[in-house]
Structure 1
Amino acid sequence: MSAALDNDELAEATRLLRESAAGIAPRGGDRRRVRALRFQPPGFDPALLRAMGEQGWIGLRLPEEKGGAGLGLTALCALAEELGAALAPEPLIPAMLSAALLAAVDAEAPLDGLLSGEALVLTAWQEAPSALAAPGTAEAPRLFIPQAGGASAFLVPVRQGDGMALLLQPAESAELSLQKTQDGGFFGTLRPGSGTPIGTVSPGILADALEEAALATAASLLGVMDQTFTLTLDYLRTRQQFGRPIGSFQALQHRAADLQIQIALSRASIAAAAALLDEGQAPRAERRAAVSRAKARASDAAMLVTRQAIQLHGGIGYTDEADISLYLRKAMVLASQFGSAAMHRRRFAEEAREDEA
């Protein structure tokens, strides 16, 4: 959290963020827009990404002197939750990751274009599935780059000695292949080529940026499951069987209560992790453990809630035409981004032991 903001100011900033999100990507979701963008390159609306840049969202975490808003992770998680609930396919979190790295090396030209939403710079950091570490291997293909087909350039971290050199590689010269994702977007695989060195950062700066992206993704999953639950409750209240709403059946009420508990636990875990990182005083092991706990819980809970919602909708829920299926597809993609639940559980166990020592 910015030192200039007290709790009341942070609450007001968070409220305004949620309201601005409702104006661009309503929580209820424009599901016709989502369907129209599915499997159509680049998989998102560049105009809407520009609108997000105009709102200052891409630079939300950057200090004001770098062109940002200087807000903390509590505010970011609130925004990510709203966009998750709206099923927004725009790659805001990956763009924010790139903004953090570009700001760290004072790369003004690409940073200005990224913050405005006029250009999309994506960081090609991942070399293995279900990972949250960037080895920076020079020749290794970079995997699972979200919505890579819409990028104007790629930021490629390459280890050099004790640091990470950042290479800016224009999209037009990139050796890039695209694969469709379950939610209708695209993942890119990039083979690093000739890029322009723009600076060097410590591995810790990149690691911290990835931690924030993982926590923001957990918040997006929270939005997905929360809106899924809302739609499911509406269905249970209106769907009639044997002359009464099926939501009046005790067995279904129990299942709904269990899902609500999972959502509440995820929300508490994400809020606790965001507050801990905003304070900035906890040891690295404790911070990493908090992020892993939140991401593992959100990934597991989102898959449980969305799958159960499909079942509670009955046969129609299993069809692609049913809007509820869009939430399951989104959860399937987000659950493994910036580390799967299994990876984060392993890391939580390791970091918790280190913190206790």
Structure 2
Amino acid sequence: MSEALAGTEAERAESIRMIRDSAAAVAPRGGDTRRVRALRFKDPGFDPAVLREMGALGWIGLRAPEAAGGAGLGMGEMCALAEELGAGLAPEPLIPSVLSATLLAAAEDRAALPRLLAGETYMPTAWQERPDTLEVPGSPDAPRRFIPQAAGAGGFLLPVREGGRIALYVLDAAGADLAIERTQDGGNYGTLRPALGEARRVADDVGAVLARALDEAALATAAYLLGVMERSFDLALNYLRTRQQFGRVIGSFQALQHRAADLRIQLGLTRASVESAAAALDAGAEGAVRRAAVSRAKARAAEASLLVTRQVIQLHGGIGYTDEYDAGLYLRKAMVLANQFGSAALHRRRFMKDAPEGAEE
């Protein structure tokens, strides 16, 4: 390995470490979940002040180029950050904000982008028209569904198909036809009926940028789920080390040790998939190679997070089923995010279509 390459890798590792450390200010690992519980099942479902703090830390612009006011960092950094936020169950919609920042940066929009990057407004991209898809029909009048934390949105980005291109519009939330539905984790989804007559057109064609940004959002969500399952597993290990039955800590029972070992394997496989996909994207993977890498990671994270968080509930026994105990918060979060930006089934199908010959999930 050349000294230059070694230096670059060392700098990258330090950058990722600093990203992880900075996340502790917002979502400390092992910290209490009182803030998360206080925000559940209330509008807007997150703390706008924390979203502004994320903007001040440069997280919303993490993937946007420096020329547009962003940080221009890679998916390695983005996934490390998402993992830490998942471990802390941060409800703030960082991943949808990063997606929108990528689109507005490509559109070179100087009106909405600065406020979005600063976290002063939440402006999700309303792209999805049906369940479980990563396709963007861009129908001008079709309702846009499953918009994360839409109750706190100050505006929306609307991709609209015009001929063979995907144009981008900005729609203010004031007066928008928006319906809100609660989610299992205490957040919300929105269904928006677009009114293009009231929207501002900001780009002629963002189709390629949007496809890449959706893949990056799917991978970041996989990393968030990795954080969720890691912290959930930590809770189970702590419980196994302290809970006693028949005069012995239950972690000494061989059957529970085997179950914990199986869950640790799931964590290791998921981490390998996420980190491999992030490295591939940072190395410039495009097209089918990019899609296959992302789909392998998202399919793995979606299934493993549900498996781990459900098993953690069982390892805790009766107390795990109570809402007052934190283990259930992680299961609820996994249930909501497992299908966001594509379910495991969708990503398995896409992986089989796009993976290089001979590749295995």
Structure 2 length as normaliser, TM-score? 0.95
Show CA shifts across 1:82-117 (max 9, x none). Answer: 000000000000000000000011111200000001
Unmatched tracts of structure 2, length 5 or more: none
- How do 1:317-332 residues align onto structure 2 when only pairs under 5 Å count? 317-332=320-335
Classify the secondary structure of the residue corresponding to 2:190.
strand
Q: What residue is the counterpart of 1:146 in the other structure? A: 148
Instruction: Determine if contact 2:103/2:206 at 8 Å carries over to the other structure.
Output: no
Q: What residue is the counterpart of 1:334 in the other structure? A: 337
Shift of 1:10: 1.0
Q: What residue is the counterpart of 2:239 in the other structure? A: 235
Instruction: Determine if contact 1:61/1:70 at 8 Å carries over to the other structure.
Output: yes
Measure, in 2, the Cα distance between the counterparts of 1:160 and 1:10. Answer: 40
Letter in 2 for 1:323: D
Show CA shifts across 1:26-75 (max 9, x none). Answer: 12243111110000100000000000000000000111111111110011
Instruction: Determine if contact 1:104/1:201 at 8 Å carries over to the other structure.
Output: no
RMSD of aligned alpha carbons: 1.4
Letter in 2 for 1:231: L
**Is the counterpart of residue 90 in structure 1 residue 92 in structure 2?**
yes
Shift of 1:200: 2.0
Measure, in 1, the Cα distance between the counterparts of 2:112 and 2:105. Answer: 10
- How do 1:186-197 residues align onto structure 2 when only pairs under 5 Å count? 186-193=188-195, 194-197=198-201
Letter in 1 for 2:294: V
Measure, in 2, the Cα distance between the counterparts of 1:355 and 1:64. Answer: 39
- How do 1:75-114 residues align onto structure 2 when only pairs under 5 Å count? 75-114=77-116
Classify the secondary structure of the residue corresponding to 1:308.
helix
Percent identity (aligned): 65
Letter in 2 for 1:173: G
**Is the counterpart of residue 245 in structure 1 residue 245 in structure 2?**
no
Q: 1:53 aligns with which of 16, 35, 55?
A: 55
Classify the secondary structure of the residue corresponding to 2:307.
helix
Measure, in 1, the Cα distance between the counterparts of 2:131 and 2:358. Answer: 26
Q: 1:8 aligns with which of 4, 10, 19?
A: 10
Classify the secondary structure of the residue corresponding to 1:23.
coil
Measure, in 1, the Cα distance between the counterparts of 2:145 and 2:299. Answer: 21
Classify the secondary structure of the residue corresponding to 2:28.
coil
Q: Number of paired residues?
A: 352
Q: 1:303 aligns with which of 266, 286, 306?
A: 306
Unmatched tracts of structure 1, length 5 or more: none
Measure, in 2, the Cα distance between the counterparts of 1:352 and 1:234. Answer: 39
Letter in 2 for 1:258: D
Instruction: Determine if contact 2:168/2:206 at 8 Å carries over to the other structure.
Output: no
Instruction: Determine if contact 2:65/2:105 at 8 Å carries over to the other structure.
Output: no
Measure, in 1, the Cα distance between the counterparts of 2:30 and 2:232. Answer: 10
- How do 1:174-253 residues align onto structure 2 when only pairs under 5 Å count? 174-193=176-195, 194-253=198-257
Measure, in 2, the Cα distance between the counterparts of 1:12 and 1:353. Answer: 32
Letter in 1 for 2:9: N
Instruction: Determine if contact 1:29/1:87 at 8 Å carries over to the other structure.
Output: no
CA 1:283–1:99 in structure 2 vs 1: closer, same or farther (change >3 Å)? closer
Measure, in 2, the Cα distance between the counterparts of 1:179 and 1:29. Answer: 29
